Amino acid sequence: MSSTISVRTLRVVRGRREVLHGIELEVEAGRVTGLLGPSGSGKTTLMRAIVGVQIVADGSVSVLGLPAGTPTLRARVGYQTQAPSVYADLTVLENLDYFAAILGASRARVAEVVALVGLQGLERQLAVSLSGGELARLSLAAALLNDPEVLVLDEPTVGLDPVLRRDLWGFFHELADAGTTLFVSSHVMDEADRCDALVLLWEGRVLVTGTPESLRQRTGAADLDAAFLALIDGAGGARS
Amino acid sequence: MSLRRTLATALRVLRQLGHDPRTIVLLLAVPCVLQILVRALFADRPAVFQSLGVPLLGLFPFVAMFIVTSITMLRERVSGTLERLMTTPLARGDLLTGYALAFALVATVQATLVSLLSFGLLGLDAGHRPASVVALAIANAVLGMALGLFASAFARTEFQAVQFMPAFVLPQILLCGLLVPRDEMAEWLQAISAVLPLTYAYDALARLASEAPLGARFWADVLIVVGATVLALVLGAGTVRRRTP
């Protein structure tokens, strides 16, 4: 399998604090790779580095064989920030129209993504009047407009109800089956089982990578929650 | 840069404004009401209204666009939409030019409305062609927009952004020559006034209001206002970064 995202000895310093300490990472093409880790472990910073908006201190990030942040990548990589980054004072359709114009997507594609994320009937509603889940899906829709080869999604399911979460994960797998590479973060460990591959980030370091099955086997734990706790306890023990 | 993306950005900014009719009414009505107040205040002294009316007409859009732009841009930074835009093919020039186009259009409507009121109903004498006053008002609006864009980079909250209005704008209004002619100011005030762009905007407007021929000074003023706008836009572009810490 080929790597779509390749991270080498990535170090990021924010303020006076080093938040990523030499990350090494491969994200394989056409799969859903989960980036898991507690709040503050550096997930968002790592994702920002991959989409090329993070100032990095050292190391390299390449996406689709090009250095992250290369102008031509901007049309090939979709990014959904953690907070729904859409215009609250525009309607659903006006938001998508604008992002479509910028990404070079057609009007037909706008209608398509509205249907994909299940926002039909809400096209003329102001974003500010949407529920949290609807807003998150609008933000996701904007990232899907140009049918990107790589999708970087920062906690896309946070605060959503279980049905919606299941549907979204199903949708991510449909995209992956169609060839899109997804890199999805979550701090909810029970979402880990929905991923093809996992990266566990802990205090700015990659603690472990592998498939959910391989992690269970490695730790001998019954569920991933217990597996992660065992791994984290191991890491903490090694440091102290 | 791309024309399509620039125009899409201008349209988006106008649509945002369109969903806020109260702001539109305030943008258009407040300068008119202020102009009527000034006219009433100097009802017995038409010469004073004559000397204040035209400069005020040109300065309203400057102040209004400074505030509107700094808040809109701050929201863009805080809400994460700017970060999203920076991961798309949108060039920074597209974004800033889009903003400039949208607010120049609003300023055109605003300045035209106040001009019609002032030159029509309130009996203000345009001196030179009223169209030049409107054109200069638009130039001032774009200057205000550019400064607002730059200022927004230094604000973390909307409270701070609003406070930048008195900080960036009031000193310029105090020192531009509107309240006290520049040659009557203390030398150090004159020196400060000489580096503030609004001084030249005011001077140009005052020349438009007078009967005297415009002369080279007028065109030098206009050039300085345009130059200051470009400089503020370049500085503003410098504060919109793709990569942030």
Q: Identify the pLDDT of residue B128.
A: 66
Q: Identify the pLDDT of residue B45.
A: 92
Which amino acid is it at B146?
A
Evaluate if residue A49 carries a pLDDT over 90: yes
Q: Identify the pLDDT of residue B11.
A: 97
Q: Is residue B34 part of a domain?
A: yes
Six token digits for residue B96: 């800033």
Q: Is residue B244 part of a domain?
A: no
Confidence class of residue A236 from pLDDT cuts 50, 70 and 90? low
Cα angle, residue A210 at apex, residues A205 and A216 outer, rounded to 5°: 105
DSSP state for residue A201 in the 8-state scheme: E
Closest chain B residue by Cα to residue A15: B245
Q: Is residue B245 part of a domain?
A: no
Q: Identify the pLDDT of residue B109.
A: 92
CB proximity A51 to B under 8 Å: yes
**Contact B5/A101, CB-based, under 8 Å?**
yes
Nearest of A167, A148, A149, A147 to residue A157 by alpha carbon: A167
Q: Identify the pLDDT of residue A184.
A: 96
Q: CA-to-CA distance for A164 and B186, rounded, in angstroms? A: 69
Evaluate if residue A101 carries a pLDDT over 80: yes
Q: Identify the pLDDT of residue B224.
A: 96
Confidence class of residue A86 from pLDDT cuts 50, 70 and 90? very high
Q: Identify the pLDDT of residue A160.
A: 80
Q: Is residue B40 part of a domain?
A: yes
Q: pTM of the entire structure? A: 0.88
Closest chain B residue by Cα to residue A49: B243
Strands A205-210 and A17-28: unpaired
Q: Identify the pLDDT of residue A240.
A: 42
Q: Is residue B162 part of a domain?
A: no
Reported as a single tens digit per residue, the pLDDT across B140-190 is: 988 998 899 888 888 888 888 888 888 888 999 999 998 899 999 999 999
Q: Is residue B233 part of a domain?
A: yes
Nearest neighbour of B243 by CB, restricted to A53, A89, A102: A53
Q: Is residue B81 part of a domain?
A: yes
Six token digits for residue B40: 């009433």
Evaluate if residue A237 carries a pLDDT over 60: no
CB proximity A142 to B under 8 Å: yes
Q: What is the mean pLDDT of residues B105-132?
A: 87
- Give me the domain span that covers residue B75: 3-157+167-239
Evaluate if residue B237 carries a pLDDT over 90: no
Closest chain B residue by Cα to residue A126: B19
Q: Identify the pLDDT of residue A163.
A: 86
Q: Is residue B140 part of a domain?
A: yes
CB count within 10 Å of CB B230 equals 13
Domain count, chain B: 1
Q: Identify the pLDDT of residue A83.
A: 86
Closest chain B residue by Cα to residue A51: B87
Q: Is B141 within 8 Å of B65 (Cβ atoms)?
A: yes
> Which residues of B lie closer than 8 Å to A, measured between beta carbons?
4-5, 8-9, 11-12, 15-16, 19-20, 79-81, 83-90, 242-245
**Alpha helix stretches (DSSP H) within A9-106:** 43-51, 92-103
Average pLDDT, chain B: 90
Q: Which residue has the higher pLDDT, B131 or A34?
A: A34
Strands A197-202 and A3-14: unpaired
Q: CA-to-CA distance for B111 and B130, rounded, in angstroms? A: 10
In A81-204, which ranges are E strands? Answer: 150-153, 181-186, 197-202
Six token digits for residue B143: 């200057």
Q: What is the mean pLDDT of residues A71-83?
A: 91
Nearest neighbour of B83 by CB, restricted to A85, A101, A103: A85
Average pLDDT, chain A: 90
Give the bridge partners for A8, in sequence order: A60
Confidence class of residue B212 from pLDDT cuts 50, 70 and 90? confident
For residue A163, report the phi and psi dihedrals to the nearest 5 degrees: -65, -45
Dihedral angle sign, alpha carbons of residues B14, B19, B20, B26: positive
CB proximity A86 to B under 8 Å: yes
Nearest of B81, B108, B110, B105 to residue B95 by alpha carbon: B81
- CATH H superfamily, domain A3-76+150-239: P-loop containing nucleotide triphosphate hydrolases (3.40.50.300)
Six token digits for residue B237: 């572009």
Which amino acid is it at A22?
G
Q: How far is A17 from chain B (nearest CA, A)?
A: 11
Six token digits for residue A194: 């929905």
User: What ipTM does the predicted assembly reach?
Assistant: 0.87
Q: Is B144 within 8 Å of B151 (Cβ atoms)?
A: no
Q: What is the DSSP string of A101-119?
A: HHHT--HHHHHHHHHHTT-
Give the bridge partners for A7, in sequence order: A25, A61
